[in-house]
Amino acid sequence: MLRLHGAAYEAGFDGVELHGAHGYLLHQFISTFTNHRTDKWGGSFENRIRLVRTILKKIKSLLPSSFMTGVRLSPEDKLSFKGIDFDESLELAKILADDGADFIHVSPWDVFKKPDKYADGEKTIIEYFRERVPAEVPVMTAGKIWSRTDAEKILSLGSDFAVIGKAAIGIPDWPSKAKDENFIPQMPPYTINHLRDADLGNAFIKYMGGWKGFVVEE
């Protein structure tokens, strides 16, 4: 992993993101559902977050400070991705920021939802993270941002960036189109021809066919 980050730097990238969400390896270490280790890499919260912290600090020590390294986190359980406590996620975000993360990327699947743990409260997930992470460290979020209005709303809730995912797949020039106040995005499902016109390969289109309501036959 460290070798790949070095390669990204040498290739001219401005930074990288450690993927600690959505069931990937770092997420599996953080989760009590998937991490059953009994050594220093499992068990307690401190042990379960040790791997992502170790990698982050090593990258920051080896590469110039101008090379950004952020971390993406799942804030709570979602679908089959279990074993994530919301309060632990908040604490982890702060710890990673203190460890030198250049940004924290919160991935709740729906940027406007409240945390399940505090569903009766007033604050959205991103508001909790913005309050916990030091002000000098940017916080960003992704999930169901389709329109310019969506992006503006999430910025008003404290996110420093609005991260565009699925909307940018079907509308690759979303950022430039969203400059128009009258921009109305085309919503899924998308036809296969539409996705091909967006320069997506057949393998990726086939993969997206597994996303409910995203791809439709001609």
Say what the pLDDT of residue 71 is: 99
- Quick one: average pLDDT of 95-109? 98
Percent of the chain scoring above 90 in pLDDT: 94
pLDDT at 81: 86
pLDDT digit string, tens, across residues 57-74: 999 999 999 999 999 999
Q: How far apart are CA 170 and CA 191, in angstroms?
A: 10
Q: How big is the CA angle at 163 (ends 107 and 135), to the nearest 5 degrees?
A: 75
pLDDT at 209: 93
- Please, which pLDDT band fits residue 79 given cuts at 50, 70 and 90? confident
CA distance linking residue 85 with residue 75, whole number of Å: 7
Contact 83, 77 (CB under 8 A): yes
Residue 136 has pLDDT above 90, yes or no: yes
- C-alpha triplet 55, 60, 65: angle, nearest 5°: 160
- Residue range 1-40, pLDDT digits in tens: 778 889 999 999 999 999 999 999 999 999 999 999 999 9
CA atoms within 13 A on the CB side of 90: 13
Q: Are 157 and 127 in contact (CB under 8 A)?
A: yes
Residues designated catalytic: 24
Report pLDDT for 78. Answer: 86
CATH 3.20.20.70 matches 2-165: yes
| pLDDT tens, position by position, 176-197 | 999 999 999 999 999 999 999 9
Q: The pTM is what?
A: 0.94
Contact 105, 71 (CB under 8 A): yes
